[in-house]
Structure 1
Amino acid sequence: MVLMDRKQFLWGGATAAYQCEGAWNEDGKGLGEWDVFSHESPLNINGATGDVSCDFYHRYQEDLDLAAEGGHNTFRFSISWSRILPSGTGEINQGGVDFYNRVIDYCLSKGLEPNVTLFHYDLPDVLARKGGFANREVIDAFVEYAEVCFRAFGDRVKLWVTINEPRYYAYCSNMVGNYPPNHELDFDRYFKVVYNEAVASSRAVALYRSLGLDGKIGIVIDNCNVEIAPGTKDPQGIRLKAELFYDRLMLDTQLRGELPGALIPFLRENGIDDSFVLFEDALSFEQGTSDFLGLNCYNRMYLTDYSEGPTEVFHNNKGAGSKKKEGIRIKDWFETTDDPTTKRNLWGREIYPRCMYNALMGIKERYGDIPVYITENGHGCYEQADESGYVEDDDRIEMMQGYIDNMFEAMKDGCNVRGYYAWSSMDLYSWVNGYEKRYGLVRVDFAEGADLKRIPKKSYYWFKSLIRDYLAGSEHPGHNY
């Protein structure tokens, strides 16, 4: 395969602040929306919190040592907004700044390029109570927060992400209703939140450039590539509606610097409030296009014609305790359908490695030679360790190898892919799924008295071998493990 300089390709693992740090109330940190939700909401169906999680806050050196020993040359993590600005705006918490300085400096000492996300689902509670990203005031607050981070860490951090999965955050918060503030099927709020996140991202990108910093900045989306099932009666109409619902608002504003032309007519035709779209934002989009795109790649949107029944979201946070298959039915628009040839995980989500190739080729065809990082890819499992704590996670290896093979094929066909991050570096809190759903390359023993012991899994050693094969010039990295 003809690829970029292999030594420049980034291989790493990914985490997020609330999911791994713990230390939820230490060193001046303010409350985040997930602190409040996990402690107080009856909708926290598994009863787990991120209060301690895997305690990355106190054990980051151990985790970064394992990453470096595993052959990684980068580490992706997010900053907790409420750890930096406990009230969302205003006074800076030096304890939070000091913590991230320690993490960044230790990354660099271990040869790990820091890839830093500003916002990964965890608003300060003060701002969440004001409506979160449904309130335009939060755009200004985000830009203020971004500037604090750029000035504190921008001398050493050269890869920045503004927002992780803005569409999926809005979807879970306003359509599924499983993430705070737990709105269900609220189309008006869903589109408003996605739009305001887009404005906030673009303004943060423009600010970053105005500060004269020499890194790169972009946004991370969840893979929403639309595939239309055979036999669909209106494939073109469904594709347009689905892409406007899933990803065009974010991709067109962040990569082209403009709203998709069909968006406003689409919203008005379907009775969705479009008053959140302001003329003044056009300049923000134009001036704030991303340097790169991060793609969190797990699945596709496999769609067909709407059949019958009310609008309904199908989502499974109970794992094997539920038979739900992940999907949606939107009245008079479209609905997801089942491909009997494709396996699903225990949470009802498709395992479809070809979506990696299709998503990357779709981005290239629509947006040109934009650099892309696969910022998340992985496999959630129930796992059983042996008496020593070791996990033989062959299903994870098989799944990730298939996605990586498709990534390499897309690169061979001209996609400008610059890196790959496994989700996740170690086992961590999986939002409302709690701790039974595990993604890590490294096992964390959450049992009482186990002291959160870290034990690399079989996938950790496979991934290390894959990276070594790649650097050695192998045409099929990982297959010889």
Structure 2
Amino acid sequence: MSLLTRRRLLHRAALSATAAGAARAGLTGAGAAGTAASTAALVAGCGATPDPDGDPAPHGPLRFPPGFRWGAATSAYQIEGAAKEDGRGASVWDTFSHTPGRTRNGDTGDAAADHYHRYAEDLDLMRDLGLHSYRFSISWSRIQADGSGRPNQRGLDFYRRLVDGLHERGIAPMATLFHWDLPQTLQDAGGWENRDTAARFAEYADIVFRALGDRVPDWLTINEPKTVVQNGYIWGHHAPGRQDPDAAYLVAHHLQLAHGLAVRALRATGAKTRIGPALNLHPCYPADDTPEASAATRLYDGYENRLYLDSILKGAYPQDVLADLGPDSRLARGIRDGDLKIISSPVDLVAVQYYTPIYVTGQGDTVRRWPTSEASWQQLYPEGMYDILTRVTRDYGTIPLTITENGLPCPDTLAADGTVDDTARIGFLRDHFAAAHRAIRDGVPLESYHVWSLLDNFEWAEGYDQRWGLVYVDYPTQRRVLKRSAHWYRTVIRDNGL
């Protein structure tokens, strides 16, 4: 990796930290016209005055295709709790969150939303909302405490009960194998910098596939490998908390290799079920009309999107990214013969997670064009949903797509009458649903949409300060309360549209 590239990557980390500080100080980007402006106006108040019919900014009517599936998403460490029960081992997030100064207020996922004990109640909530699909993740350290060896039967039994409960309520399970909670024992042996971790992941995947088999119709391999790379190894504000760009892109390669090995492991079982990656994709736009901004945006897109899409769907890493990293980078030196063939093992679907656009200057820096949510990194631009979906279809063909995360944090509070009025979230979701609808109309094979998230939960480094859920969780009592957005979403599901 060149010194220039290393400096650029670390500079991005500094810009991210500056943006986060500005957001906590109450600063936001400039306003704009169209749906982004309407969403921003709602979010600015996070409880703005609704329209006379009770919902903000109606589009209607928009009807989705017959058979379109509506769902919600969660992840294991963020909701399960029971961190030391029934044979579960420690993960990198247990270690990270228990390290002073790593998370807001010193929060941990030890209890989270206590889903491990309250899963039946949560399944009933899903049924009452009318969900067609539930996307969740499996805790690797609950299946193999140390990341290898004999499986923990109590862990497998929990996920069997969860999957059976979903089927009993007419909800399709969509399971993610890895959502950032690497067993700590594997991290101690080098983590994702160690190529052997990809092999251990394939063994873990095989255990889970053989335990749950066709009971899970859709499998996702690695959730947001880019977030592990950037947040965990460049910026350092996620586990394992490193700031080492040289290591980061070797980690990217091993995560991609683990994905491909898991795809092959599923095929080897003979299960008649589908599998694909879950990628957070950020549409990248030039900040101005200069040739320099256009060129910088192309490279930025390589790091944000093509590094993962091209390797999985085209069997090659983008040449501009490889050239920028340099022939002596750990990524370049870590690629072995046959790796890209494994990584590009044919998949059945691609899960897209959309939260924010990125605007790039001619110097390769980023600027904010739209107001942000409580999450300082999230610019509010629903049109980005349309752009990224159509881009994937245009550049990679008509592979089935599913949205597995899209949502908004709000400072939700429980009112005296026992309700939670999150009008802003309704407006946000309505605008993004409309953008997805337009993408379908223009030929995108989008099958389903999973709102992030079902429950308020442990939001990684932000602890419990940010609430993303359709369902309010009163953490001291673990009481669940449907927010206004949940009642609205139930109507969307019933009507299959807006």
**TM-score strictly above 0.5:** yes
Alignment of 1:227-306 (within 5 A): 227-268=285-326, 274-286=332-344, 288-306=345-363
Q: Tell me if structure 2 keeps the 8 A contact 1:48–1:434.
A: yes
Q: How many residues align?
A: 437
Determine the C-alpha separation between the residues in 2 that align with 1:389 and 1:33.
37
Of residues 110, 113, 132, the one that matches 2:169 is 110
Determine the C-alpha separation between the residues in 2 that align with 1:387 and 1:216.
46
Structure 1 match to 2:49:
none
Q: Which amino acid aligns with 2:231?
A: C
Calculate the TM-score normalised by the size of structure 1: 0.88
Q: Tell me if structure 1 keeps the 8 A contact 2:103–2:463.
A: no
Determine the C-alpha separation between the residues in 1 that align with 2:229 and 2:258.
14
Of residues 388, 391, 396, the one that matches 2:417 is 388
Unmatched 5+ stretches in structure 2: 1-60
Determine the C-alpha separation between the residues in 2 that align with 1:226 and 1:173.
22
Determine the C-alpha separation between the residues in 2 that align with 1:418 and 1:291.
12
Alignment of 1:54-453 (within 5 A): 54-184=113-243, 186-268=244-326, 274-286=332-344, 288-306=345-363, 334-339=364-369, 342-348=370-376, 349-446=378-475, 448=476, 451-453=477-479
Determine the C-alpha separation between the residues in 2 that align with 1:166 and 1:303.
22
| Partner-residue secondary structure (3-state), 2:333 | coil
| Relative contact order higher in (CA < 8 Å, ≥ 6 apart) | 2
Structure 2 match to 1:459:
485
Q: CA deviation at 1:108?
A: 0.4
Q: Deviations over 1:332-385 (max 9, x none)?
A: xx011121xx22112322111111001001101110101110100110111122
Q: Tell me if structure 2 keeps the 8 A contact 1:20–1:55.
A: yes
Determine the C-alpha separation between the residues in 2 that align with 1:264 and 1:31.
35
If each structure's helix is expressed as a fraction of its own residues, which one has the higher value? 2
Determine the C-alpha separation between the residues in 1 that align with 2:473 and 2:417.
12
Determine the C-alpha separation between the residues in 1 that align with 2:64 and 2:419.
35
Q: Tell me if structure 1 keeps the 8 A contact 2:294–2:362.
A: no
Determine the C-alpha separation between the residues in 1 that align with 2:415 and 2:157.
38
Structure 2 match to 1:50:
109
Determine the C-alpha separation between the residues in 1 that align with 2:343 and 2:80.
33
Q: Tell me if structure 2 keeps the 8 A contact 1:3–1:411.
A: no
Q: CA deviation at 1:273?
A: 5.6
Q: Tell me if structure 1 keeps the 8 A contact 2:96–2:241.
A: no
User: What is the CA RMSD across the aligned residues, in angstroms?
Assistant: 1.7
Determine the C-alpha separation between the residues in 2 that align with 1:292 and 1:47.
38
Q: CA deviation at 1:157?
A: 0.6
Cα distance change on mapping 1:92 and 1:270 into 2, 3 Å: closer
Determine the C-alpha separation between the residues in 2 that align with 1:21 and 1:3.
35
Q: Deviations over 1:152-209 (max 9, x none)?
A: 011301100001000112110011111122112x221111111111111011112211
Determine the C-alpha separation between the residues in 1 that align with 2:253 and 2:371.
34
Determine the C-alpha separation between the residues in 1 that align with 2:101 and 2:76.
23
Calculate the TM-score normalised by the size of structure 2: 0.85
Q: CA deviation at 1:277?
A: 1.5
Q: Tell me if structure 2 keeps the 8 A contact 1:159–1:215.
A: yes
Structure 2 match to 1:328:
none
Structure 2 match to 1:317:
none
| Partner-residue secondary structure (3-state), 1:227 | strand
Determine the C-alpha separation between the residues in 2 that align with 1:178 and 1:264.
25
Q: CA deviation at 1:128?
A: 1.3
Q: CA deviation at 1:272?
A: 6.5
Q: Which amino acid aligns with 1:346?
A: E
Q: Tell me if structure 1 keeps the 8 A contact 2:295–2:362.
A: no
Q: CA deviation at 1:303?
A: 1.1
Q: Tell me if structure 1 keeps the 8 A contact 2:368–2:379.
A: no
